[in-house]
Amino acid sequence: MKLLITGAGGQLGQALQAVVPTNVEIVAATSVELDIGDADAVRSYVAAAAPQLLINAAAYTAVDKAESDVETAFRINGEAVGYLAQAAKAAGARFVHVSTDFVFDGTAGIPYAPDAPTAPIGVYGASKLRGEQEAGEGALIVRTAWVYGSRGANFVRTMLRLMAERDEVRVVSDQIGTPTWATSLADGIWKLAAAEATGLYHYTDSGAASWYDFAVAIQEEALAIGLLDRAISVLPIPSSAYLTPARRPHYSVLDKEATSALIGAPAAHWRANLRLMLREVGERG
């Protein structure tokens, strides 16, 4: 099978390549090699690659910047998805698109099912919802949340740096979601694609945590394997004490029951996968 991955230089794009099944030929397009917001470039690139499967791992993920850069956020997260979906259809390829928990408003008290009403509270979430709509019928849309990996900019790597530099960090404790290792997400996407799934599915690691819980776990696990050499104070704060341009959902745990039933098992707990990721960081030095 021939596969085209867009956003191949990002943490999910790299993870998809690292765990690719056997007998798959990969064409990996980074943002430098393909501007997915350019309809003509997308048409010609996909036609030349002639994939059987196209996975869009590209996204505008600057949540706060999106509030003032609305046009770019919608061009990359919205309109560009339509260009890719159309090009995939013309090439006879299946299309997989990755979306986010930010399409929900965070007011639910139970995990959001795939068919739960969407109500984004910021530009980023609204632009990603537009992308879901642009993906069209027959696409596989995988919503995920709180993704991190051993490469790139993410919460885990930021916490490791701050914990090595400071004597104290303050972390929001009233936003609840599920940390998700990029490698775990990539594996889940491959399994869903192999099952020829279409429509909306949710995939994150198992369990739930606040950003504060996540930070505490990062320090504990990093100390246990020697990535950090001292413990510092990790203090919980409310969202109101850490104001940002974009509002975040207070609760965005995703219901993965349909995904687990289809692929045969739930993902590992987020803390177990955090441990694996930190070991990976340690091995790389």
Kindly list the structural domains of the chain, giving each domain's residue range(s) and its CATH number in brackets, ordered by start. 2-152+180-207+254-268 (3.40.50.720)
Residue pair 223/231 in contact by the 8 Å Cβ criterion: yes
Residue 83 catalytic?
A: no
CA neighbor of 5 nearest in space, from 91, 25, 66: 25
Per-residue pLDDT reduced to its tens digit, 96-138: 999 999 999 999 989 999 999 999 999 999 999 999 999 999 9
Catalytic residue among 60, 112, 124, 148: 124
pTM of the model: 0.96
- The pLDDT value given to residue 115: 97
Per-residue pLDDT reduced to its tens digit, 153-194: 999 999 999 999 999 999 999 999 999 999 999 999 999 999
| Separation between Cα atoms, residue 74 and residue 143, nearest integer Å | 17
Q: In the chain, pLDDT over 70 holds for what percent of residues? A: 100
